[in-house]
Chain A
Amino acid sequence: MRRRDFFKTTVAAGAALSLNFDGLQAALSGEAVAVEAAPDLVAVMGGEPEAMLDKALEALGGIGKYIKKGQKIVIKPNIGWDRTPELAGNTNPLLIKALVKRCLAAGASKVTVFDHTCDDWLKCYKSSGIEAAAKEAGAVVVPGNDEKYYKSVTIPGGVKIKEAKIHEALLEADAWINVPILKNHGGAKFSCAMKNLMGVVWDRRVFHSNDLQQCIADICTLQKKPALNIVDAYRMMHQNGPQGKSAADVATIKSLLASPDIVAIDTAALGLFNQVKKLDMAAVGHIGKGEALKLGSTNLDQLNIKRIRI
């Protein structure tokens, strides 16, 4: 009996070891490949939102690099306006839906979606298609329409903004993903990843009256920075932003950018924007100010950029 037991144990242990070893080796080699090639920024063009997202995440080394099992994740799209997806005022709902699914598949314990909208929030959540899409994918969609959802935090890195009320969902999250839509903007000239952070803040009037461009950069110094920025440029509003008037304001350029570097991704997005409409970097003050606050780099030449065409 004892000997038999001994053999059994040995065999079992051996099998387990060899299995583990195989797995470990596979994981190690996979990691090695990913580390070697992990780009600072991925740009994808020519596909549908979900397909482009998968390409980008794959190139970045998988979503598991940015979120961990059991974490509470916030996805912050732009849901600012009472506009349908075709008018490109809000982030593409298909992208949000796919991203929620990827997060849950990666083991996120909870995925929360919200925005502090400009138009009536119920209308925005509905017209944008984001509420329905996110819920379908399993996310919790929370309101951002009332001051009580926002908690005051200090912004030590800010030049003009030293304190702001931030949505509690974001403050309570373990990690968050910033998912703006790229578009023209009457006030900030250009709205993308950095500008999207204004949607986590309650009082935006202060931003407008205290040097908007600096305030946008300031809010990006928020201690809880996005783990990843994913720019939706499937449809791009190139004029009359941020609301847009009609479909004539929209160019369908079927693109997507992803990067953890918020300044780099906005710099790249500005390049993409310039493919349709001329817009000078100097006019979009917040990008340069973000670099000055060491939030990232505008020097794309020194970054490892992966460009993918589908």
Chain B
Amino acid sequence: MLAILFFVSALLFFIDFAGKIPQGVHALLHLQIVPAILSGAVGIMAFQFILVLVFGRLYCSAICPAGILQDAINRLFCIGKKKSKGVRRFSFRKPQNLLRYLLLGATAATALAGFTTLLVWLDPYSNFGRIAANLFRPVTMWGNNVLADLLTRMDNYALYHVTVHTVTTAGLLAGLLALLLFVGLTIFRGRLFCNTLCPVGALLSLISRYSFFRISFDEQLCNRCGNCERTCKAEAINSKQMTVDTSRCVDCFNCTSSCTKSSLKYRFRPPFASGKPSAEKPSSGKPAEAPAAGKLSSEAPAASPSNGRRRFFATGATVAATLPVLSTVAQYADLPEGEKPTEADNIDYERLPPVTPPGSAGLERFKDQCTGCHLCVVRCPTQVLRPAGLQFGFDYLLRPYCKFESSYCNYECTVCGEVCPVHAIRGLSKEEKRTTQVGVATFNISRCIVHTEGTDCGACSEHCPTQAVHMIPYEGTLTIPQVESELCIGCGGCESICPVRPYRAIVVVANREHAYVAPPEEEEVKEIEIDGFGF
């Protein structure tokens, strides 16, 4: 029930394109462990860790949306299948301790060093976010459009047509990759992701080994039918030896309901009381095998002499796989400081740095904090935030940036900072938002319609909420834009509407470090009286 509550509300929050879901739902997402750690929410972290210590990895079955998604995939997979091919297709496997703790260590170390790439790709919550934002959401929106069209034909405007702007190639691929990974691993071996690749799973396993409540056998009652082992998605139950590896158990309770003898139960068995920890000894027996190798031993073999060598290769492979990532990260880490061009003509339109969302404080900080869950992307009312591809370098991949192609950052809006669960985008008050300069509009007169065509335009000034872009007299009755950069907050209103192509006559050049402008001057409201119609 709890799982459904968390999952459904998180899912709906991601796919809700009409603003029907209360904004407060984002609080649920702050409970997610990676966001809690990154945002330094000590209280939430403590709560989650105590929860695991007392109850085991309930988190993975009831709170983590990626975990619940995998369970949903599993359910769908089992529909219409014989039990032996479906719900009871699993068998006990040794834990992949080397892989999971190596990944955990690497993720933690690189994240601490400021390279969040591994975390971005492995964080279960962010992967769920990308699936929901880039796959489920657009599908829902298209479904809505089909319905809206039908209703409109019946003169009902309860639904309205929506346009999907926020799905970029990179976002789509990332979502697709994550979904395929989840589907593949779930069908292949249940909760394999959670017990090998997932750094959160690995972290929690360190605690759940010692959990007070755990699933355990009553050896007197057990008839060794093996149902429990075959229903265990975590492949953590060894029915022959009557052990449950609580480091991998995600508390789904499939086993307890499958047990006809009431032997297997969720019991209060704190490690300090029982003396022998029922957790599987990590060192025992089976070699650690990377799932990517695609080779798995179907039987539980005895420890083999090649164990050490295999392990060595596995380690080597993992390190080797990580290295290029790290080196790429390092390569882009010190991109040349893009100096703000003073001459508009010198703008290299192809190589402008990304405009980061207001509240992100600056490029470097933002890319080190953001895990690319795309929650801001889906909640942004103007759809100006888009997931980046490789155009800003590898280390900005999947991070959101302001794309002023056809929309702009609403002057009064502070939604992205409110929802960001990792606080990569800090929450801003309306006053702070209106004075945060994420970039500066840069006007290029030689491209401007008023100059090149000799006709009125002024679309940029029209859309400028601060009138940093205002019209000044030009030739004859014409007026031409002028930018007061100390008033401009870089909202992109001007750029989004400028009709000049291929490059626009006015573009926002990002501030690598966000700056602040003075609050708008309070102008005196004058009583204006008129004495006649004037015609």
Binding site for B on A (CB under 8 A): 43, 45, 82, 118-120, 122-123, 140-143, 145-149, 185-189, 205-206, 208-214, 238, 240-243, 245-253, 255, 267-268, 271-276, 280, 282-283, 285, 300, 305, 307
Contact = CB atoms under 8 A, between A and B. Distances in A.
B528 A251 contact: yes
Interface of B: 19, 145, 149, 155, 157, 160-163, 381-382, 410-412, 449, 453, 455-459, 461-467, 470-471, 477, 479, 497, 499-500, 520, 522-526, 528, 530-535
Contacts of A267: 535
Given A186-B470, A209-B449, A141 B535 contact: no
B410 A208 contact: no
Contact of A140 (B155, B524, B534): B155
B463 A243 contact: yes
Nearest to B473: A283
Nearest to A216: B456
Given A82-B410, A123-B410, A275-B530, A243 B456 contact: no
30 contacts: A43-B535, A118-B462, A123-B410, A145-B160, A145-B161, A148-B149, A186-B458, A186-B471, A187-B471, A188-B456, A189-B477, A208-B497, A209-B499, A209-B500, A210-B455, A211-B455, A212-B455, A212-B457, A213-B455, A240-B467, A240-B470, A245-B466, A245-B520, A246-B525, A248-B525, A255-B533, A272-B534, A275-B532, A275-B533, A305-B535
Given A82-B412, A248-B525, A272 B453 contact: no
Contacts of A249: 523
A268 B534 CA distance: 8
Nearest to A250: B525
A271 B533 contact: yes
Given A248-B525, A267-B535, A300-B535, A285 B477 contact: yes
A190 to B, nearest CB: 11
Contacts of B471: 186-187
A210 to B, nearest CB: 8
Contacts of B449: 208-209
B441 to A, nearest CB: 14
Contacts of A122: 19, 381
A38 to B, nearest CB: 19
A120 B410 contact: yes
Contact of A148 (B161, B457, B458, B524): B161
Nearest to B523: A248
Contact of A186 (B19, B462, B465, B530): B462
B50 to A, nearest CB: 42
A212 B456 contact: yes
Contacts of A255: 533
B157 A205 contact: no
Contacts of A188: 456, 458
Contact of B528 (A142, A205, A208, A252): A252
B456 A146 contact: no
Contacts of A251: 528, 530
Contacts of B497: 118, 205, 208
B523 A246 contact: yes
Given A120-B381, A245-B467, A271-B535, A143 B457 contact: no
B395 to A, nearest CB: 31
B257 to A, nearest CB: 46
Contact of B456 (A268, A271, A285): A285
Given A118-B497, A120-B382, A252-B528, 5 more contacts: A43-B533, A123-B381, A238-B528, A255-B533, A300-B535
B528 A187 contact: no
B532 A208 contact: no
Nearest to B412: A82
Contacts of A253: 528, 530
Nearest to B156: A140
A283 B145 CA distance: 43
Contacts of B411: 82
Nearest to B410: A120
B142 to A, nearest CB: 12
Nearest to A273: B534
Nearest to B463: A118
B327 to A, nearest CB: 43
A187 B457 contact: yes
Interface of A is mostly: mixed
Contacts of B532: 275
Contacts of B382: 120
A276 B382 CA distance: 35
A40 B480 CA distance: 36
A275 B459 contact: no
Nearest to A203: B499
Contacts of A43: 533, 535
A307 B457 CA distance: 34
Contact of B462 (A185, A205, A248): A185
A213 B458 CA distance: 11
Contacts of B470: 186, 240
A205 B381 contact: no
Nearest to A168: B152
A187 B535 contact: no
Contacts of A285: 456, 477
Contacts of A282: 477
Nearest to B411: A82
A251 B155 CA distance: 39
A120 B19 CA distance: 12
A151 to B, nearest CB: 13
Contacts of B530: 251, 253, 272, 275-276
A94 to B, nearest CB: 20
Most buried by B among A212, A213, A267: A212
A246 B523 CA distance: 8
Nearest to A209: B499
A190 B132 CA distance: 45
B454 to A, nearest CB: 9
A245 B468 CA distance: 11
A147 B160 CA distance: 12
B410 A119 contact: yes
A267 B464 CA distance: 27
Nearest to A45: B533
A252 B525 CA distance: 11
Nearest to B454: A211
A224 to B, nearest CB: 20
A206 B535 CA distance: 34
Given A187-B459, A188-B458, A243-B463, A283 B453 contact: no
Contacts of B160: 143, 145-146
Closest 6 CB pairs of A and B: A187-B458, A271-B535, A248-B523, A186-B461, A251-B528, A271-B534
A208 B19 CA distance: 32
A45 B535 CA distance: 13
Nearest to A300: B535
Given A267-B535, A276-B530, A283 B477 contact: yes
Contact of B535 (A147, A243, A252, A272): A272
